[in-house]
Amino acid sequence: METKHSISIKNLRLSFGALDVLKDLNLDVGRGEFLVLLGSSGCGKSTLLNCIAGLLDVSDGQIFIGERNVTWEEPSKRGIGMVFQSYALYPQMTVAGNLSFGLKNAGLPKPEIEERVNRAAKILQIEPLLSRKPAALSGGQRQRAAIGRALVRDADVFLFDEPLSNLDAKLRADLRVEIKQLHQQLSNTMIYVTHDQIEAMTLADRIAIMRGGQILQLASPNEIYNRPANKYVAEFIGSPTMNFFDGEIVGGDGLRFAVGNHAFPLEGYDFRDGLAVQGPAWFGIRPEHMVTGTKAESARIRLSGQVELVEPLGSDTLARVAVDGRSLWVRMDGQANIRDGDDIVVGFDPARANLFDKSHENRL
Protein backbone atom coordinates (compact mmCIF):
# COMPACT_ATOMS: atom_id res chain seq x y z
CA MET A 1 0.00 0.00 0.00
CA GLU A 2 1.46 3.34 -0.95
CA THR A 3 1.63 5.78 1.89
CA LYS A 4 0.65 9.01 0.19
CA HIS A 5 -3.01 8.20 0.68
CA SER A 6 -4.60 8.76 4.04
CA ILE A 7 -7.75 6.85 3.12
CA SER A 8 -8.25 4.32 0.36
CA ILE A 9 -11.52 2.71 -0.51
CA LYS A 10 -11.43 -0.23 -2.85
CA ASN A 11 -14.48 -1.67 -4.64
CA LEU A 12 -16.74 -0.85 -1.76
CA ARG A 13 -20.23 -2.29 -1.96
CA LEU A 14 -23.02 -2.02 0.58
CA SER A 15 -26.46 -3.46 0.14
CA PHE A 16 -29.49 -3.81 2.34
CA GLY A 17 -31.22 -6.86 0.97
CA ALA A 18 -31.73 -6.32 -2.73
CA LEU A 19 -31.04 -2.61 -2.47
CA ASP A 20 -27.51 -1.48 -3.35
CA VAL A 21 -26.72 1.66 -1.40
CA LEU A 22 -23.07 1.87 -2.47
CA LYS A 23 -22.03 0.38 -5.77
CA ASP A 24 -18.46 -0.71 -6.34
CA LEU A 25 -17.06 2.53 -5.06
CA ASN A 26 -13.38 3.53 -5.22
CA LEU A 27 -11.91 6.58 -3.55
CA ASP A 28 -8.45 7.75 -2.50
CA VAL A 29 -8.02 10.65 -0.12
CA GLY A 30 -4.62 12.27 0.19
CA ARG A 31 -2.86 12.95 3.46
CA GLY A 32 -4.01 16.24 4.92
CA GLU A 33 -6.65 16.65 2.27
CA PHE A 34 -10.06 18.19 2.92
CA LEU A 35 -12.53 16.10 0.96
CA VAL A 36 -16.20 17.00 0.78
CA LEU A 37 -18.82 14.41 -0.10
CA LEU A 38 -21.61 16.35 -1.73
CA GLY A 39 -25.00 15.21 -2.94
CA SER A 40 -28.70 15.42 -2.34
CA SER A 41 -30.25 13.30 0.35
CA GLY A 42 -30.25 9.57 -0.30
CA CYS A 43 -27.19 9.68 -2.55
CA GLY A 44 -25.17 7.52 -0.16
CA LYS A 45 -22.77 10.16 1.11
CA SER A 46 -23.58 9.65 4.80
CA THR A 47 -23.62 5.91 4.27
CA LEU A 48 -20.12 6.09 2.81
CA LEU A 49 -18.96 8.15 5.78
CA ASN A 50 -20.49 5.63 8.19
CA CYS A 51 -18.66 2.84 6.38
CA ILE A 52 -15.37 4.68 6.72
CA ALA A 53 -16.12 5.18 10.40
CA GLY A 54 -16.94 1.52 10.81
CA LEU A 55 -20.46 2.21 11.95
CA LEU A 56 -21.83 0.14 9.10
CA ASP A 57 -20.59 -3.25 7.99
CA VAL A 58 -19.73 -3.31 4.31
CA SER A 59 -21.03 -6.00 1.99
CA ASP A 60 -17.90 -6.18 -0.09
CA GLY A 61 -14.62 -4.36 -0.70
CA GLN A 62 -11.97 -2.89 1.55
CA ILE A 63 -11.24 0.26 3.46
CA PHE A 64 -7.70 1.41 4.29
CA ILE A 65 -6.86 4.18 6.71
CA GLY A 66 -3.19 5.05 6.68
CA GLU A 67 -1.62 1.78 5.71
CA ARG A 68 -3.99 -0.39 7.67
CA ASN A 69 -6.82 -2.44 6.30
CA VAL A 70 -9.56 -1.43 8.72
CA THR A 71 -12.43 -3.15 6.94
CA TRP A 72 -13.19 -5.27 9.99
CA GLU A 73 -11.89 -2.88 12.60
CA GLU A 74 -14.01 -1.39 15.38
CA PRO A 75 -14.80 2.32 14.91
CA SER A 76 -12.73 3.30 17.91
CA LYS A 77 -9.69 1.46 16.57
CA ARG A 78 -9.65 3.21 13.21
CA GLY A 79 -7.94 6.39 14.35
CA ILE A 80 -10.82 8.64 13.45
CA GLY A 81 -12.76 11.43 15.10
CA MET A 82 -16.34 12.11 14.10
CA VAL A 83 -18.74 15.03 14.36
CA PHE A 84 -22.45 14.55 13.89
CA GLN A 85 -25.27 16.71 12.62
CA SER A 86 -27.27 16.53 15.83
CA TYR A 87 -24.07 16.99 17.88
CA ALA A 88 -24.73 13.65 19.62
CA LEU A 89 -23.45 14.98 22.91
CA TYR A 90 -24.14 12.66 25.84
CA PRO A 91 -26.83 14.62 27.68
CA GLN A 92 -25.98 13.35 31.14
CA MET A 93 -22.30 14.30 30.96
CA THR A 94 -20.68 17.70 31.13
CA VAL A 95 -18.75 19.06 28.17
CA ALA A 96 -15.53 17.92 29.81
CA GLY A 97 -17.10 14.52 30.38
CA ASN A 98 -18.13 14.35 26.75
CA LEU A 99 -14.65 15.22 25.60
CA SER A 100 -12.90 12.76 27.85
CA PHE A 101 -15.28 9.82 27.46
CA GLY A 102 -13.45 8.33 24.50
CA LEU A 103 -10.04 8.86 26.08
CA LYS A 104 -11.17 7.12 29.25
CA ASN A 105 -12.40 4.21 27.19
CA ALA A 106 -9.01 4.07 25.52
CA GLY A 107 -7.45 3.86 28.97
CA LEU A 108 -5.33 7.00 28.78
CA PRO A 109 -3.73 8.28 31.98
CA LYS A 110 -5.63 10.99 33.75
CA PRO A 111 -3.15 13.84 33.36
CA GLU A 112 -2.96 13.27 29.65
CA ILE A 113 -6.72 13.27 29.31
CA GLU A 114 -6.86 16.54 31.17
CA GLU A 115 -4.17 18.05 29.05
CA ARG A 116 -5.81 17.04 25.81
CA VAL A 117 -9.22 18.24 26.89
CA ASN A 118 -7.79 21.59 27.88
CA ARG A 119 -5.90 21.93 24.65
CA ALA A 120 -8.99 21.15 22.58
CA ALA A 121 -11.08 23.51 24.66
CA LYS A 122 -8.53 26.23 24.10
CA ILE A 123 -8.47 25.73 20.35
CA LEU A 124 -12.24 25.85 20.19
CA GLN A 125 -12.58 28.56 22.85
CA ILE A 126 -14.98 26.53 24.96
CA GLU A 127 -12.93 26.56 28.15
CA PRO A 128 -15.63 28.34 30.20
CA LEU A 129 -18.18 25.75 29.13
CA LEU A 130 -16.31 22.65 30.23
CA SER A 131 -18.35 22.09 33.38
CA ARG A 132 -21.74 22.67 31.76
CA LYS A 133 -24.10 20.06 30.49
CA PRO A 134 -25.14 20.07 26.82
CA ALA A 135 -28.67 21.21 27.65
CA ALA A 136 -27.20 24.47 28.94
CA LEU A 137 -25.38 25.26 25.70
CA SER A 138 -26.47 27.10 22.57
CA GLY A 139 -26.44 25.34 19.22
CA GLY A 140 -23.06 26.78 18.21
CA GLN A 141 -21.52 25.92 21.55
CA ARG A 142 -22.85 22.39 21.29
CA GLN A 143 -21.33 21.91 17.87
CA ARG A 144 -18.01 23.28 19.13
CA ALA A 145 -18.11 20.81 21.96
CA ALA A 146 -18.91 18.07 19.49
CA ILE A 147 -15.91 19.09 17.38
CA GLY A 148 -13.87 19.12 20.54
CA ARG A 149 -14.79 15.55 21.17
CA ALA A 150 -13.29 14.61 17.83
CA LEU A 151 -10.31 16.87 18.41
CA VAL A 152 -9.14 15.34 21.69
CA ARG A 153 -8.72 12.01 20.01
CA ASP A 154 -5.68 13.29 18.07
CA ALA A 155 -6.97 11.34 15.15
CA ASP A 156 -5.41 11.35 11.71
CA VAL A 157 -8.80 11.50 10.08
CA PHE A 158 -11.78 13.67 10.95
CA LEU A 159 -15.19 12.72 9.72
CA PHE A 160 -17.93 15.36 9.63
CA ASP A 161 -21.52 14.30 9.01
CA GLU A 162 -23.39 17.48 8.02
CA PRO A 163 -22.12 19.21 11.13
CA LEU A 164 -23.59 22.62 10.38
CA SER A 165 -27.04 21.68 9.11
CA ASN A 166 -28.77 22.28 12.41
CA LEU A 167 -27.40 25.80 12.85
CA ASP A 168 -28.81 29.09 11.65
CA ALA A 169 -27.26 30.84 8.64
CA LYS A 170 -25.05 33.26 10.54
CA LEU A 171 -23.59 30.64 12.87
CA ARG A 172 -23.15 28.29 9.99
CA ALA A 173 -20.98 30.80 8.17
CA ASP A 174 -18.92 31.50 11.29
CA LEU A 175 -18.32 27.86 12.10
CA ARG A 176 -17.51 27.14 8.48
CA VAL A 177 -14.65 29.55 8.72
CA GLU A 178 -13.55 28.05 12.01
CA ILE A 179 -13.51 24.55 10.56
CA LYS A 180 -11.40 25.81 7.69
CA GLN A 181 -8.97 27.43 10.11
CA LEU A 182 -8.91 24.27 12.16
CA HIS A 183 -7.92 22.30 9.09
CA GLN A 184 -5.15 24.74 8.30
CA GLN A 185 -3.95 24.57 11.89
CA LEU A 186 -4.09 20.78 12.33
CA SER A 187 -3.61 19.75 8.71
CA ASN A 188 -5.05 16.30 9.18
CA THR A 189 -7.30 14.54 6.73
CA MET A 190 -10.92 15.59 6.84
CA ILE A 191 -13.91 14.07 5.15
CA TYR A 192 -16.93 16.26 5.27
CA VAL A 193 -20.45 15.30 4.24
CA THR A 194 -22.86 18.03 3.24
CA HIS A 195 -25.67 18.86 0.87
CA ASP A 196 -24.75 22.56 0.95
CA GLN A 197 -22.72 23.55 -2.11
CA ILE A 198 -21.37 26.71 -0.50
CA GLU A 199 -19.84 24.68 2.31
CA ALA A 200 -18.47 22.29 -0.25
CA MET A 201 -16.97 24.99 -2.45
CA THR A 202 -15.47 26.99 0.38
CA LEU A 203 -14.01 24.15 2.43
CA ALA A 204 -12.95 21.48 0.03
CA ASP A 205 -9.62 20.69 -1.51
CA ARG A 206 -11.56 18.24 -3.57
CA ILE A 207 -15.26 17.56 -3.86
CA ALA A 208 -16.81 14.19 -4.54
CA ILE A 209 -20.27 14.58 -5.98
CA MET A 210 -22.37 11.51 -5.30
CA ARG A 211 -25.57 10.17 -6.72
CA GLY A 212 -27.21 6.75 -6.39
CA GLY A 213 -24.32 5.28 -4.42
CA GLN A 214 -21.70 6.30 -6.94
CA ILE A 215 -19.22 9.15 -7.25
CA LEU A 216 -20.07 11.19 -10.35
CA GLN A 217 -17.11 13.52 -10.20
CA LEU A 218 -14.14 13.86 -7.90
CA ALA A 219 -12.25 17.08 -8.51
CA SER A 220 -11.27 20.45 -7.15
CA PRO A 221 -14.07 22.97 -6.58
CA ASN A 222 -12.83 24.97 -9.51
CA GLU A 223 -12.82 22.06 -11.88
CA ILE A 224 -16.26 21.03 -10.76
CA TYR A 225 -17.58 24.51 -11.24
CA ASN A 226 -16.01 25.09 -14.59
CA ARG A 227 -15.94 21.66 -16.10
CA PRO A 228 -18.76 19.59 -14.52
CA ALA A 229 -18.45 15.99 -15.59
CA ASN A 230 -22.10 15.68 -16.47
CA LYS A 231 -25.37 17.51 -16.57
CA TYR A 232 -26.34 16.46 -13.03
CA VAL A 233 -23.18 17.91 -11.53
CA ALA A 234 -23.61 21.05 -13.61
CA GLU A 235 -27.14 21.51 -12.32
CA PHE A 236 -26.21 20.68 -8.75
CA ILE A 237 -23.44 23.26 -8.44
CA GLY A 238 -24.30 26.91 -8.80
CA SER A 239 -27.25 28.98 -7.74
CA PRO A 240 -29.36 29.89 -9.57
CA THR A 241 -28.81 26.78 -11.55
CA MET A 242 -27.23 26.61 -14.99
CA ASN A 243 -29.38 27.59 -17.99
CA PHE A 244 -29.83 24.84 -20.56
CA PHE A 245 -30.63 24.86 -24.25
CA ASP A 246 -31.82 21.65 -25.87
CA GLY A 247 -30.40 21.39 -29.37
CA GLU A 248 -27.85 19.81 -31.65
CA ILE A 249 -24.18 20.24 -32.46
CA VAL A 250 -23.84 20.58 -36.19
CA GLY A 251 -20.82 20.82 -38.45
CA GLY A 252 -20.40 23.07 -41.47
CA ASP A 253 -18.11 26.08 -41.31
CA GLY A 254 -16.90 25.53 -37.79
CA LEU A 255 -18.98 23.70 -35.16
CA ARG A 256 -22.25 25.29 -34.15
CA PHE A 257 -24.91 24.55 -31.61
CA ALA A 258 -28.30 24.75 -33.27
CA VAL A 259 -31.27 25.56 -31.11
CA GLY A 260 -34.49 26.76 -32.68
CA ASN A 261 -33.58 29.36 -35.23
CA HIS A 262 -30.33 30.26 -33.44
CA ALA A 263 -26.95 28.76 -34.01
CA PHE A 264 -24.21 29.44 -31.43
CA PRO A 265 -20.68 29.20 -32.80
CA LEU A 266 -18.59 26.91 -30.60
CA GLU A 267 -15.15 28.32 -31.30
CA GLY A 268 -12.95 28.22 -28.24
CA TYR A 269 -15.03 25.61 -26.49
CA ASP A 270 -12.79 23.21 -24.65
CA PHE A 271 -14.02 19.78 -25.67
CA ARG A 272 -13.17 16.89 -23.43
CA ASP A 273 -9.96 15.27 -24.53
CA GLY A 274 -9.97 17.85 -27.32
CA LEU A 275 -12.35 15.71 -29.35
CA ALA A 276 -15.10 17.61 -31.13
CA VAL A 277 -18.33 15.70 -31.66
CA GLN A 278 -21.66 16.27 -33.33
CA GLY A 279 -25.20 15.24 -32.49
CA PRO A 280 -28.04 16.05 -30.07
CA ALA A 281 -26.78 17.82 -26.93
CA TRP A 282 -27.51 20.16 -24.05
CA PHE A 283 -25.90 23.59 -24.07
CA GLY A 284 -25.40 24.94 -20.56
CA ILE A 285 -24.40 28.43 -19.52
CA ARG A 286 -24.27 29.74 -15.96
CA PRO A 287 -26.28 32.85 -15.04
CA GLU A 288 -23.13 34.62 -13.91
CA HIS A 289 -21.59 34.06 -17.32
CA MET A 290 -24.38 35.99 -19.00
CA VAL A 291 -23.94 39.66 -19.57
CA THR A 292 -26.34 42.52 -20.17
CA GLY A 293 -26.31 46.17 -21.15
CA THR A 294 -23.26 47.50 -22.91
CA LYS A 295 -21.29 44.30 -22.27
CA ALA A 296 -24.00 42.36 -24.07
CA GLU A 297 -23.52 44.54 -27.09
CA SER A 298 -20.01 43.21 -27.51
CA ALA A 299 -20.81 39.59 -26.58
CA ARG A 300 -20.34 36.88 -29.16
CA ILE A 301 -23.88 35.69 -28.78
CA ARG A 302 -26.77 38.02 -28.14
CA LEU A 303 -30.35 37.16 -27.38
CA SER A 304 -33.19 39.57 -26.78
CA GLY A 305 -35.93 38.91 -24.33
CA GLN A 306 -38.18 40.33 -21.67
CA VAL A 307 -37.59 40.45 -17.90
CA GLU A 308 -40.10 38.26 -16.05
CA LEU A 309 -38.88 38.49 -12.47
CA VAL A 310 -36.26 40.42 -10.55
CA GLU A 311 -34.56 39.30 -7.33
CA PRO A 312 -32.37 42.07 -5.89
CA LEU A 313 -29.81 40.57 -3.51
CA GLY A 314 -27.84 43.71 -2.76
CA SER A 315 -24.52 42.45 -4.02
CA ASP A 316 -26.09 41.02 -7.14
CA THR A 317 -29.38 41.17 -8.91
CA LEU A 318 -30.91 38.04 -10.35
CA ALA A 319 -33.32 38.32 -13.23
CA ARG A 320 -35.34 35.77 -15.06
CA VAL A 321 -35.56 36.59 -18.70
CA ALA A 322 -37.97 35.08 -21.20
CA VAL A 323 -36.23 34.34 -24.47
CA ASP A 324 -38.19 32.62 -27.23
CA GLY A 325 -40.52 31.03 -24.70
CA ARG A 326 -37.59 29.81 -22.60
CA SER A 327 -36.70 31.22 -19.15
CA LEU A 328 -33.06 32.10 -18.53
CA TRP A 329 -31.54 33.22 -15.26
CA VAL A 330 -29.08 36.09 -15.47
CA ARG A 331 -26.86 37.43 -12.73
CA MET A 332 -26.30 41.16 -12.95
CA ASP A 333 -24.71 43.93 -11.04
CA GLY A 334 -26.26 44.68 -7.68
CA GLN A 335 -27.26 48.16 -8.71
CA ALA A 336 -28.71 47.18 -12.09
CA ASN A 337 -31.75 49.27 -12.73
CA ILE A 338 -34.28 46.93 -14.30
CA ARG A 339 -37.91 46.10 -13.78
CA ASP A 340 -40.39 43.41 -14.71
CA GLY A 341 -41.46 43.76 -18.32
CA ASP A 342 -38.30 45.57 -19.47
CA ASP A 343 -36.98 44.52 -22.82
CA ILE A 344 -33.41 43.41 -22.48
CA VAL A 345 -30.54 41.94 -24.45
CA VAL A 346 -28.42 39.20 -22.88
CA GLY A 347 -25.18 37.94 -24.24
CA PHE A 348 -22.58 35.28 -23.46
CA ASP A 349 -19.42 33.68 -24.71
CA PRO A 350 -19.88 30.03 -25.80
CA ALA A 351 -16.36 29.30 -24.60
CA ARG A 352 -17.71 29.57 -21.06
CA ALA A 353 -20.47 27.11 -21.82
CA ASN A 354 -20.65 23.38 -21.16
CA LEU A 355 -21.99 20.86 -23.63
CA PHE A 356 -23.56 17.60 -22.54
CA ASP A 357 -24.42 14.64 -24.67
CA LYS A 358 -28.16 14.18 -25.01
CA SER A 359 -28.19 10.46 -24.30
CA HIS A 360 -25.63 9.84 -21.56
CA GLU A 361 -25.55 13.46 -20.31
CA ASN A 362 -21.77 13.46 -19.88
CA ARG A 363 -19.78 16.53 -20.73
CA LEU A 364 -18.56 16.71 -24.27
Partner 1 sequence: MAAATGPVRWHRNLSAKIAAIPMITTALVVFIGGTAWTVLYSFTSSKLLPREKFVGLAQYERLWSSSKWLISIENLAIYGVFSLVFSLLIGFMLAALLDQKIRFEDTFRTILLYPFALSFIVTGLAWQWILNPDFGIQHVVRSLGWESFSFDPLYDPDIVIYGILIAGLWQGTGLIMCLMLAGLRGIDEDIWKAAKIDGIPMWKTYIFIVIPMMRGIFITAIVLIASGIIKVYDLVVAQTGGGPGIASEVPAKYVYDAMFLSQNLGQGFAASTMMLLTVIIIVVPWAYLEFGGKRRG
Partner 2 sequence: MGNVTKTAAEIQLAPARQEMTGPRGPKPGRTLSRRNIMIYGTLIVVSLYYLLPLYVMVVTSLKGMPEIRLGNIFSPPVEITFQPWVKAWAEACTGLNCDGLSRGFFNSVRILIPSVVLSIAIASVNGYALANWRFKGSETFFTILIVGAFIPYQVMIYPIVIMLREVGLYGSLTGLVIVHTIFGMPILTLLFRNYFASVPQELFKAARVDGAGFWGIYFQIMVPMSLPIFVVAMILQVTGIWNDFLFGVIYTKPDLYPMTVQLNNIVNSTQGVKEYNVNMAATILTGLVPLTIYFISGKLFVRGIAAGAVKG
- Residue 62 as a binder of partner 1 (CB under 8 A): the answer is yes
Tell me the closest approach of the beta carbon of residue 86 to partner 2, in angstroms. Answer: 5
Pairing verdict, β 189-194 and 34-38? parallel
Q: Which residues contact 29 (CB under 8 A, 6 or more apart)?
A: 5, 6, 7, 8, 35, 189, 191
- Residues facing residue 65 across a β-bridge: 7, 68
State how far the alpha carbon of 252 is from the alpha carbons of 249, 255, 257, 266, 278, in Å: 10, 7, 11, 12, 11
Residues 27/7, Cβ–Cβ less than 8 Å: yes
- Residue 50 as a binder of partner 2 (CB under 8 A): the answer is yes
Nearer to partner 2 (CB atom), residue 1 or residue 136:
136
Tell me the closest approach of the beta carbon of residue 75 to partner 2, in angstroms. Answer: 5
Residue 108: which of partner 2, partner 1, none does it interact with, CB under 5 to 8 A by kind? none
Q: Which residues contact 150 (CB under 8 A, 6 or more apart)?
A: 81, 82, 83, 158, 159
Nearer to partner 1 (CB atom), residue 168 or residue 342:
168
- Residue 69 as a binder of partner 1 (CB under 8 A): the answer is yes
70-109 residues in contact with partner 1 (CB under 8 A) are 71-72
Out of 106, 250, 277, 309, the residue judged to bind partner 2 by CB under 8 A: 106
Measured CA to CA, the distance from residue 249 to residue 278 in angstroms comes to 5
Tell me the closest approach of the beta carbon of residue 40 to partner 2, in angstroms. Answer: 20
- Residue 40 as a binder of partner 1 (CB under 8 A): the answer is no
Nearer to partner 1 (CB atom), residue 55 or residue 276:
55
State how far the alpha carbon of 186 is from the alpha carbons of 120, 219, 327, in Å: 11, 23, 47
Distance of CA 61 to the CA centre of its chain: 25
Nearer to partner 2 (CB atom), residue 56 or residue 328:
56
- Residues facing residue 346 across a β-bridge: 292, 303
Measured CA to CA, the distance from residue 166 to residue 274 in angstroms comes to 44
- Residue 57 as a binder of partner 1 (CB under 8 A): the answer is yes
Out of 51, 58, 94, 161, the residue judged to bind partner 2 by CB under 8 A: 161
Residue 17: which of partner 1, partner 2, none does it interact with, CB under 5 to 8 A by kind? partner 1
Residue 176: which of partner 1, partner 2, none does it interact with, CB under 5 to 8 A by kind? none
Rg (CA), the chain: 24
- Residue 80 as a binder of partner 2 (CB under 8 A): the answer is yes
- Residue 105 as a binder of partner 2 (CB under 8 A): the answer is yes
Note the residues at the interface with partner 2 (CB under 8 A). Answer: 50, 53-55, 74-77, 80-82, 84-92, 101-102, 105-106, 146, 149, 161
Note the residues at the interface with partner 1 (CB under 8 A). Answer: 10, 16-17, 57-62, 69, 71-72
